[in-house]
């Protein structure tokens, strides 16, 4: 499988320029995922009552894989629908992304001498939309304001580069396993998640691009029952995680086709 992926990348590196409008891509990625988790809870099934509180953070590597389609912004809808509105041809990427292997180890303070330790894993399945803005478009107003002229050398370097930003929504699969010497909390919640991010991309060829960026992932607050020597319905612990990620990715175009709206004309 690894040799096949390598051969595909090499083939893409030597490919000619693609003239089709819509492009199908795969994008494996990796990076560092950091979790900041606020915790609040209480256990009344022990005497005296134990309160759980505080915040902790941990970081872990993660892997991701996305499959999607890249479409020029001005080709997203049929021209007839756009009336007189003219959009730029900046690439818009719509993708389905799976990311996982995130494993965090967290510590929660308690009102007694015991500490509460939690292992949290997070796998996400997201539908993301990213907009790539060519750096040339961002730099052009600066050239005009400062009167820098054409600067062909500078343009040659920044033409393959872009700034991207976007959002996504999906579902998160969590595993929470917390314990102390007295009580524990174990659950595998499935919940709505969202993310927002930005970064920079650089086209190595017409088919292969590198990107580096940041994103925030909102997992939502999770409330879990505490299990102890005496089980009370009010014994719960809340985990409120914030996920911050730095990631690197390589995007490889694997297929292209003409704008389907044109076929309907």
* Structural domain includes residue 5: no
71 contacts 91 by C-beta, under 8 angstroms: yes
Phi, psi of 27, deg, nearest 5: -140, 95
The enclosing domain of 228 has a CATH number of 2.40.160.20
111-157: per-residue pLDDT in tens? 776 788 899 999 999 999 999 999 888 767 666 666 666 666 666 78
* Structural domain includes residue 14: no
* Structural domain includes residue 101: yes
46-90: per-residue pLDDT in tens? 667 788 888 899 999 999 999 999 999 888 777 667 667 778 889
Q: How far apart are the first and last CA of the chain?
A: 41
Residue 116, Cα to own-chain centre: how many angstroms?
Answer: 29
Give the CA radius of gyration of the chain.
24
Give, in order, the Cα–Cα distances in Å from 176 to each of 62, 105, 193, 195, 229: 17, 10, 16, 21, 20
Report the SS3 class of residue 115: coil
Q: Which domain holds residue 96?
A: 22-263
CA angle 157, 160, 164 (to 5 degrees): 120
Strand 208-218 and strand 190-203: the pairing is: antiparallel
């Amino acid at each position: 499988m690894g040799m096949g992926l390598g051969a595909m990348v090499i083939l893409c590196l030597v490919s000619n320029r693609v003239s089709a409008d819509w492009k199908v891509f795969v994008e494996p990625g990796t990076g560092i995922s950091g979790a900041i988790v606020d915790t609040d809870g209480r256990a009344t099934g022990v005497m005296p009552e134990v309160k759980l509180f505080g915040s902790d953070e941990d970081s872990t590597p993660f892997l991701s894989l996305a499959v999607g389609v890249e479409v020029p912004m001005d080709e997203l809808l049929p021209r007839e629908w756009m009336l007189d509105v003219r959009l730029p041809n900046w690439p818009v990427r719509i993708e389905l992304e799976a990311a996982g292997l995130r494993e965090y180890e967290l510590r929660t303070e308690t009102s007694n001498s015991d500490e509460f330790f939690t292992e949290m894993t997070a796998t996400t399945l997201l539908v993301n939309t990213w907009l790539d803005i060519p750096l040339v478009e961002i730099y052009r107003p600066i050239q005009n304001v400062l009167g820098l002229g054409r600067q062909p050398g500078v343009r040659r370097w920044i033409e393959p580069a872009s700034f991207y930003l976007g959002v996504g929504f999906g579902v998160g699969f969590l595993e929470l396993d917390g314990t102390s010497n007295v009580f524990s909390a174990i659950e595998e919640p499935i919940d709505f998640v969202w993310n927002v991010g930005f970064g920079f991309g650089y086209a190595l060829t017409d088919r292969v691009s590198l990107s580096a960026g940041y994103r925030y992932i909102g997992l939502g607050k999770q409330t879990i029952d505490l299990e102890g020597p005496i089980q009370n319905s009010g014994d719960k612990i809340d985990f409120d995680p914030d996920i911050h990620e730095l990631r690197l990715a390589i995007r490889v175009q694997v297929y292209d086709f003409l704008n389907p709206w044109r076929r309907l004309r």
